Amino acid sequence: MDINQIFGYLGALLIGIVLGLIGGGGSILTVPILVYLLFVNPVTATAYSLFVVGVSSLVGAIRNIQKGLVDFKTAIVFAVPAFIAVYIARKYLVPAIPETVFTVGNFSVTKNIAIMLFFAIVMLVASISMIRNKRADSPEETVITYNYPLIIIEGLLVGIITGIVGAGGGFLIIPALVLLAKLPMKKAVATSLLIIAIKSLIGFIGDVENLEIDWSFLLLFTSISVIGIFLGIYLSNFIEGKKLKKGFGWFVLVMGVYIIFKELSK
């Protein structure tokens, strides 16, 4: 095992620890770790990320179900358009992207570069969401209402973005649940994990049919990430996750800028 592999598997542990500590965001590190440390092809990395994100979110969702924090009706209303969109994106949209997207002079933007650049843009948006983190909580007794057209549109949008970059999209889902379904913040965070688990794992099914999956590697990487979640949950007893969120947001911002420069310099 070389140094990159060691750092890659340590990265898997870090993904889980971040998820356990702040309840989300860690999955956005999965693709860069797979691509730059473990040298996985970007298209395959986004597929593997869906599986890692799906399993990790499912672990968190089960814990929240046990605490009675998950709103199942909201999860179903949001998840159905999201998982349809993510499945279509993985099964048909990603394979349809041409190997050379466009050429400017001597610089060709390949499919792999385009996916990583789009991923970096999503990282920048997510980082700003984490750094600002000014969402006001809804009162716990608020009556849950549904703006169905907007929820369906948001679900489709999140599904397509998730399908292309392989990230969970919690930074898009949580505000939608608070604003469009009037869920209290605690329930929104808990419910978002179930939505992310459903749509990520269904999206991954679209990849099983298109890609050759290295199951032994994927299951090892995912298992280390899940161990990290439990470690993060334990550490959350001593460290306040909210304080870490802003710092992690800055880290994601720097990573996003690094990916843009790295891909454009190829």
User: What is the tens place of the pLDDT at every residue in 201-212?
Assistant: 988 988 888 889
Can you read off the two tokens belonging to residue 59?
């672990």
Span 93-105, average pLDDT: 89
pLDDT band for 72, please (50, 70, 90 cuts). very high
Task: Give yes or no for a contact between 235 and 17, defined as CB atoms under 8 angstroms apart.
Answer: yes
Instruction: Check whether 258 has a pLDDT greater than 90.
Output: yes
pLDDT of 260 reads 93
d(CA 85, CA 96): 15
Instruction: Check whether 144 has a pLDDT greater than 70.
Output: no
Q: Collapsing DSSP states into helix, strand and coil, what is residue 213?
A: coil
Question: Among residues 201, 176, 199, which one has the least CA distance to residue 189?
Answer: 176
Span 78-97, average pLDDT: 90
Q: How many CA atoms lie within 13 A of 209 on its CB side?
A: 12
d(CA 91, CA 88): 5
CA dist 126 → 43, 119, 183 (Å): 21, 10, 21
DSSP summary character for residue 135: P
DSSP summary character for residue 26: G
Amino acid letter at 7? F
pLDDT of 134 reads 61
CA-angle at 168, arms to 145 and 260, nearest 5°: 130
Span 221-231, average pLDDT: 93
List the beta bridge partners of residue 108.
103
Q: What are phi and psi of 109, to 5 degrees?
A: -90, 105
Can you read off the two tokens belonging to residue 132?
């600002």
Can you read off the two tokens belonging to residue 172?
């898009």
Residue matched to tokens 């608070």: 178
pLDDT band for 265, please (50, 70, 90 cuts). confident
Q: What is the pTM of this model?
A: 0.84
d(CA 18, CA 257): 20
Sort strands 100-104 and 107-110 into parallel, antiparallel or unpaired: antiparallel
Q: Other C-beta atoms within 10 Å of 23: how many?
A: 23
Amino acid letter at 265? S
DSSP per position, 47-64: HHHHHHHHHHHHHHHHHH
d(CA 206, CA 86): 9
Amino acid letter at 114? A
User: What is the tens place of the pLDDT at every residue in 162-217?
Assistant: 888 877 777 778 888 888 888 888 888 888 889 888 888 988 988 888 889 999 99
Question: Among residues 206, 222, 224, which one has the least CA distance to residue 214?
Answer: 222
